[in-house]
Structure 1
Amino acid sequence: MLDVEFIRASYRPDRITTLFVGESAPASGEFFYYGNNAMLRHMQRATEAVLGEGGDFLERFKGYGWYLDDLVLTPVDKLPPLERRATCLAATDSLRDRIAVYRPLAIVSVLVSIKGIVEAAAKAAESNAKVFGVPFPGMGQQTRFHNEMLKIIPRLPRNGITDDAQ
């Protein structure tokens, strides 16, 4: 996972305006910042439907001040359900510490089942960021993800545009 964190860090904007929080990088290795994976394609499709196309998407994502981090920094998608949930809950303090450093203006939980944990971590970090939740774009939830993203993207702060999310 060191390689995942190295690549993730290379896309970290100087100022994180919107923090996207996934559950964890997948065990398959199809990590968002590696490119050419379903999560990236769905995020790109939704973002471009609202903000238009142009250039390398990951660079634009970074340029907006958007950053994808994960609740758990090791894969949990292959764990049994109870262990997976316990691992997610145990990561609350780590996420709290990262939110305190990032100081985002908005946070998007990219999995409905972790939104409560993300909200708790944000509160513990004394963050005033508005927290949104969208379904993960997999397991038949791609359309729901897209539709929810279309609603919130205009409200997400990006490189100096912070209207609704504060």
Structure 2
Amino acid sequence: MTQTISALTKNSPGVLADMAQAIRKYNVNIRSISAGETEDPTISRLTIGLDGSEDDIQRITEEMADMDVIISMDDLRRKEFVDRELVLVKVAMESACTTQIMQIFEVFRANVVGMGQRSITVEMSGDRERVDGLIKMLAPFGIKSLCRSGMIALKRGDD
């Protein structure tokens, strides 16, 4: 079961390593992790997608909440949230398939960011399902390279 945690932390060295160590203790897989500064450069937001049991995730969040570097944590499992992921995909391109590939880009609102003699690179952002859908549609044409940012997420509403 994938569960999402969002944490505001002090922007200092070792925070990510300390959090990863807490997760490792419970043998839980990190499916996705994204970190970056917030509007305040002294604070970072980490969004972590974890695959594990509810009990293990609960223990992990309790342990993390006690860390000095943690300002606040949200367990986004039970709350409505908006999430996005960025993907860059380089696809093999033969002239016979160009129209089909471009139609896929259009349907998924993917933007062309690079073009070579035999490949085309696009970017797209969306939720996990949308990113997975783009990848599935492009796979038959030959994905040469792919990079996903990992999920970022915020609670919906005024909280």
Question: What's the TM-score, normalizing by structure 2?
Answer: 0.27
Question: What's the TM-score, normalizing by structure 1?
Answer: 0.26
Structure that is richer in helix per residue:
1
